[in-house]
Structure 1
Amino acid sequence: MDSSEKAKGKEKVETMEVSETISSVGGRVTPVQQAAFPWRYPSYGHNNFGMNSKSFLEMLMLDSCFILFALSLHYNPVKVLPFVGGLEDGPWAPRDIVGASELVKTDLLLLNSQIPFFILEDVFNMQIAIHPNEYIYTEGNEGQPTIRKVALKFFGTLGLECNGSNDTETEEVHHLLHLYHMYLKPTKHRAASLPGDTFIIINPRRYLPSATELQRKSAVNFKVKKTVGVPQCVLDVTTRKSGDIQVPALGVYDHTNILLHNLINFEQSLGNMDSYITAYVAFLNHIVQREEDVELLDTRGVLEHRLTSRAEVVAVFRQLHNVIDHYKTPGYLASVYEEVNDRCTSKWRRIYADGKQRYCSNVWLSMSFVAGIALSVLALIQTIYAVEGYKRK
């Protein structure tokens, strides 16, 4: 299916769904609400495509209804089963949305496809008033559904995971991408803040060796970060006293490049400390330079990629390197850069890494090294006994 056919298919889906939603919601839009929409229309900005407020609102309603339709498919299994099982064959093929759900999610997070969040919120609230069971919660007691909860749960399978909830219910949200960006904000669950977390480091270090270089030359290992009962976000990169770098698992899929690209573009208007996606991707770009870096991080459980080859993973981060504003790095990871670079320049760590690489790089060398030490100890003991025996004579 070419791009024009896909666009026509999506347009049919939107048209069918907007008709269904407007037919149920339209009766609840009071004259006061109708007057409120044009009043809020200028808050979206000046890029209104030459439309008047009424036409612009109709376009936003069309997009809003499609978004809510996609969300409802994710939450309402009664809607999904007929399309998955092929029992229903509508002219607009909503089962295609179910089958390509990850692509739909990425499409809804494109920076140039965002619509005002208040439109989504208003239509969602009207829809909930009509169909209170439209969004079914199956895990725990999550209370009254809101568009923020529903959307974040919908986008929670894109590979950028957070098991703790940032407070996104009270802050002002401009659009869905803004909401998702707020959701990914690094958590503050560490017992004591590191210097780079609370103070801006003057002239920070902006370079890190690759993952294999760190392991081979400085004995710096990577560990997948797993916490139980503590909020954690995929961006929570930390260091340990042992010298290890702890990184939460990151899923790299076909849509990861587009997703991170849009988040980085969104951060162009933000300050350095708020551009945490930019800082995180720059960190990954440093440690993932070659295919062996991907292999190492994959073995450690840090990278979980579903691409056809390791070379594709390297290509993803090289492409993202071109859109990073490096003046915004290292950002919230400044303390990690400082500590890792200090370990790289440590003479003792280099000696330790060299010995580890030379004598313990594989199982057989390790066994030979241990056996050699054991034989040396036994020979020393034998010599001591021989000397003691000679003295007694």
Structure 2
Amino acid sequence: MTVERYHIQVSDEILDDLQYRLQHIRWPDQLEGSNWERGTDLNYLKTLVSYWRDHYDWRAQEAKLNRFSQYRCNIDGIDVHFVHERGKGPNPLPLILTHGWPDSYLRYQKIIPLLTDPASHGGNPEDSFDVIVPSLPGFGFSGKPTQPGINNYRVSQMWAKLMTEELGYKKFAAAGGDVGSGVTRYLAATYPELLVGIHLTDVGIIRSLMTSHDELKLSEEERQYKKKASEWISQEGGYMSIQSTKPQSLAYGLSDSPVGLAAWLVEKFRSWSDCEGDLQQIFSKDELLTHIMIYWVTNTVGSSASIYYENSHTLPPLGRIEVPTGLALFPADILLPPKSWTKSNLNVTRWTTMPSGGHFTALEEPELLANDIREFYSPLRP
């Protein structure tokens, strides 16, 4: 399959089935006096689901999504969905942005115009990008893997083919967070000749520090990281343990219940964002529900969770990365990396500490992130 235009058009049958399910919910109990500490709060979720059932308009959101130039092509047997928006400037730099879980390609919807058309947003037209935002295999409108082994490394191979063979770029930039950070780092490690630089908002959980038994070889910052990471995994890492070991068992419930799906995803948007416990500070109900809907209408929550299993079981080791690397770290993100480890493992040429924002960087602080990406790549442009 060559590159073909793609238009989102969810069937009425899927939407009618969703409406039926939202009208026939069996709610669990919740202990008196508890709210979010044991998982998604029942009262909040009832309010969100009521809005979903009675007021949320998927067709309106679908029309907004279809304003982006979207395409699909087949790479290594998997149909890859992606946004491809051309830059408005004298020499746009191609930039591939990779999302993570539990978000989708929508993670980057707010920064696409800031990067493609900086002149319209207070920037310099010479800093424009051709922006490519794929959906990871098994996520949203991309196809689902039918064989095991689609991990961050394999996705990086697919992205290299997408950018060079399908879209014809000889060199390009790459950026990402969460799973997208891992994919971007494997791109840089495997195809350094293709990359002008990479931009990251995190480096994931640093397993080598977590498993280190020689405390004397660690810096004080690294020892603190190890302690905080252990605490975070014990308190917040349950989802990761399940998705890394038994994603198929989880998939049955989340694929069958829209309320179960919403509870599983919304809790992460609350815990990992800079919202101080109040989701509405950062995300509108429509925003949250559109993210949930991407998983629901495509039935991809099970296939998306599988990348955790693959990354835990089939991912090759990653060596030092020599490609120029920019880090933009947001204070409420998960486990900010120690600078000493990061500089030992990446060729860090820009390190920015942001004043606000959490894990969903491009959704929470699009202007801050877009500005940092533009400034990082400005001296690296061919």
**Which gives a bigger RCO, structure 1 or 2 (Cα 8 Å, sep 6+)?**
2
Structure that is richer in helix per residue: 1
Structure that is richer in strand per residue: 2
Same fold judged by TM-score > 0.5?
A: no
**TM-score, normalised to structure 2's length?**
0.24
